[in-house]
Amino acid sequence: MHKLSLDRILQSQGFGTRKWCRELIEDGEVSIAGEVITDYRTVVDTGNLAFTLFDELWTYREHIYVALNKPANFECSRKPSHHPGVLSLLPEQFTWREVQPVGRLDHDTTGMLLMSDDGAFIHAQSSPKRHVPKLYVATTQEPVTPELIEKMLAGVKLHDEPAPLVALTCRGLDAHQLEIVLEQGKYHQVKRMLAAAGNHCTALRRTAIGGLTLDALDLEEGEWCYLNQLQLALLA
């Protein structure tokens, strides 16, 4: 961590422009350890920093790493076109910090979505070279059959892919649900693979990325949480 003036700290945390942050400080809206600070030039060590703004306690974070349990009909875009964007489910200051989704889920796909303002993290997590397994639960229109599972495991050919796409694992959960683990992350991959295998996906939910599971995070749809270092390590 490092030392910064208080106005720069507030700006870095997404509370508005530098000018607006200075006005907040001068108006006595910011306190540290119970002491109201009105000089925006005050230099503060960001290590383990907690401050109060608008009577709410905040922790300084150089970068934000978030997991969201995405509901249906939200777009994974900073500029959504047909549905609300996932950023509308997060605090407003995350938009100021340019938090963005790590990869994308279709608007009608639900489940775990990572979000961050750390460009290096986003790039690393999105890279196809990392082969991070992602677990999905798919609901199908037609019954799940042994033949369908065999096709998903053997690989199905999509018209715009040079080689067949293969599920790492695939197993039936009930008559119309199966659990699929993929590592490629191609466009609409689960839906297209099921269609190519002779079925149709009517609902799709991502329940895990790497070793991080949605169940362990205990998030209701639309809820989010910060990820700690132990949880981030599970994404490797």
CB 196 within 8 A of CB 157: yes
Q: Grade residue 160 by pLDDT with cuts at 50, 70 and 90.
A: confident
On whether the pTM is more than 0.95, the answer is no
N-to-C CA span, the chain = 24
Q: Nearest to residue 227, comparing CAs of 34, 44, 69?
A: 69
All structural domains of the chain, each given as residue ranges with its CATH number in brackets, are: 3-59 (3.10.290.10), 65-127+219-233 (3.30.70.580), 134-209 (3.30.70.1560)
Q: Grade residue 1 by pLDDT with cuts at 50, 70 and 90.
A: low
Instruction: Please tell me the least confidently modeled range out of 7-11, 68-72, 232-236.
Output: 232-236
Question: Strands 110-116, 201-209: parallel, antiparallel or unpaired by DSSP?
Answer: parallel
Q: Grade residue 153 by pLDDT with cuts at 50, 70 and 90.
A: very high
37/27 Cα distance (integer angstroms) = 9
Classify residue 218 by burial, with Cβ atoms within 10 Å: 0-12, 13-18, 19+.
Answer: exposed
The fraction of the chain above a pLDDT of 90, given in percent, is: 77
Is residue 37 scored above 90 in pLDDT? Answer: yes
- The catalytic residues are 106
**In 3-state terms, what secondary structure has residue 53?**
strand
152/118 Cα distance (integer angstroms) = 35
Q: Grade residue 131 by pLDDT with cuts at 50, 70 and 90.
A: confident
Strands (E) in the chain, as ranges, are 3-5, 30-32, 35-36, 43-45, 50-53, 56-59, 65-70, 100-101, 110-116, 134-140, 169-174, 177-182, 201-209, 212-213, 224-226
